[in-house]
């Protein structure tokens, strides 16, 4: 990751552009440009060998005018408060663009789960919750999984919160295991949401899905399920790129006949890292990490981290590319956006394309509150309806006002949040 890159500065630049488009007043602009609350704290943890190590934790609550805060918790060795600020802001727009009654939050811990035992990770989770036990809750701020966290982490956090407050609060956190308050379909939701919007974009462009070829960056949960659904629709994915923890480098794994998710999972660790030594035996070429972007494909799906499509590398993108569906948060810099717009590539912006996760988290909250859980087909049908409706609203505005898709999505989201702030009398 480029240490000079500041995700929050990028998020603010995107917001500033939208604020100019809609003529947002100074007070509302100032309110929405920064988080309402943020927490930075130490988590002392007793390690397995008996020594204590202090981890840095974060929680940022950007805006809750439309409802309780909502947002994941990342475990990442390069996590920063500015990254969490940016992600919380993007969560505000994400909830607004799909029109669910939630605000934007985000959390994180500076750590590397690759190098932590099960017990050490549990103690970090419980320590994170103990620090924030008065500042999160079903009606206040609802965490969820994100990069390198999962359903087990969420259950540890829920258990700690319930122990502190002496009651059951299944709506505190989403992304829980099914059977413990989790929702069927939540695992697939973000990746499926990406492909639901991609399907609609290709339909508007008059391109059959089964005639397209894609390249994907990332091989975590989002990428895996996006590939699965895209292939069910008849599309072909020829390569995936992912980070190698041991080499501390990224590689692209290409198979021109099409990648097989289950085949790759057989040689993948729990963090989405593919075994470079075993891949050739399954027929995969191993290319440099950045080569996923240079492939002769119709669709690009960045589904890893922020700052992946830049002014420098976007120039190497194939002229064949017609659509970019952002499965990751903040993968494209404003400078790269200019090149994409100039080339006429149809971009589905991150906080629309990957909103399937938070939408299904909202469904999980509803089910927890009702204490009644839906079947998987019902969850995914509702998700498809919500994602399709949101996409069409953005696409129609973009066409009517001749806006870049990211700008159109921002106009819808920021207007909704700004109006909620005004209605409450905050500005």
Active site residue 106: yes
The Cβ-side half-sphere exposure at 143, using a 13 Å CA radius, reads 30
User: β-pairing, 346-348 with 69-76?
Assistant: unpaired
H-type alpha helices, 135-185: 151-165
- Whole-angstrom Cα distance, residue 303 to residue 6? 19
**Phi and psi (nearest 5°) for 133?**
-60, -25
- Whole-angstrom Cα distance, residue 244 to residue 269? 10
The catalytically annotated residue of 3, 17, 70, 106 is 106
**Phi and psi (nearest 5°) for 256?**
-65, -25
Contact (Cβ atoms closer than 8 angstroms) between residue 11 and residue 86: yes
Terminus-to-terminus CA distance in the chain, angstroms? 38
The DSSP bridge partners found for residue 46 are: 52
- Whole-angstrom Cα distance, residue 134 to residue 206? 51
314-334 residues labelled b (16+ CB within 10 A) or e (exposed): beebeeebbbbbbbbbbbbbe
User: β-pairing, 299-302 with 213-217?
Assistant: parallel
**Catalytic residue numbers?**
106
């Amino acid at each position: 990751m480029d240490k000079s890159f500041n995700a929050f500065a990028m998020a603010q630049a995107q917001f500033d552009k939208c604020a100019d488009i809609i003529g947002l007043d100074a007070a509302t602009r100032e309110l929405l440009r920064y988080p309402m609350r943020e927490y930075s704290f130490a988590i002392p943890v007793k390690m397995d060998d008996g020594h204590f190590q202090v981890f840095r934790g974060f929680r940022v609550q950007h805006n809750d005018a439309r409802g309780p805060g909502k947002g994941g918790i990342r475990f990442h060795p390069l996590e920063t408060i500015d990254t969490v600020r940016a992600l919380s802001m993007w969560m505000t727009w994400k909830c607004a663009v799909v029109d669910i009654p939630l605000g934007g939050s985000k959390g994180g811990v500076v750590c590397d789960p690759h190098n932590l035992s099960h017990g050490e990770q549990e103690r970090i989770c419980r320590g994170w919750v103990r620090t924030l036990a008065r500042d999160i809750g079903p009606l206040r701020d609802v965490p969820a999984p994100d990069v390198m966290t999962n359903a087990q982490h969420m259950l540890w956090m829920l258990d700690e919160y319930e122990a502190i407050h002496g009651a059951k609060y299944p709506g505190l956190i989403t992304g829980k295991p099914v059977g413990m308050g989790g929702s069927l379909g939540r695992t697939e939701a973000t990746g499926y949401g990406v492909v639901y919007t991609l399907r609609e974009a290709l339909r508007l462009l008059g391109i059959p899905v089964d005639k397209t070829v894609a390249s994907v960056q990332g091989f975590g949960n989002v990428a895996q399920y996006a590939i699965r659904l895209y292939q069910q629709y008849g599309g072909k994915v020829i390569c995936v790129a992912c980070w190698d923890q041991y080499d501390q480098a990224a590689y692209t794994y290409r198979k021109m006949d099409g990648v097989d998710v289950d085949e790759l999972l057989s040689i993948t660790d729990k963090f989405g890292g593919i075994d470079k030594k075993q891949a050739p035996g399954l027929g995969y070429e191993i290319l440099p990490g950045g080569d996923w972007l240079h492939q002769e494909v119709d669709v690009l799906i960045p589904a890893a981290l922020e700052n992946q499509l830049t002014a420098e590398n976007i120039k190497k993108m194939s002229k064949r590319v017609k659509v970019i569906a952002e499965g990751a948060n903040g993968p494209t810099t404003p400078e790269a956006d200019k090149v994409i717009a100039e080339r006429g590539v149809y971009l589905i912006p991150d906080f629309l394309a990957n909103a399937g996760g938070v939408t299904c988290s909202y469904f999980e909250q509803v089910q927890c509150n009702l204490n009644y859980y839906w079947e998987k087909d019902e969850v995914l049908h509702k998700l498809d309806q919500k994602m399709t409706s949101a996409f069409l609203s953005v696409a129609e505005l973009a066409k009517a006002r001749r806006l870049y898709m990211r700008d159109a999505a921002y106009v819808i989201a920021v207007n909704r949040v700004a109006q909620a702030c005004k209605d409450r009398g905050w500005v």
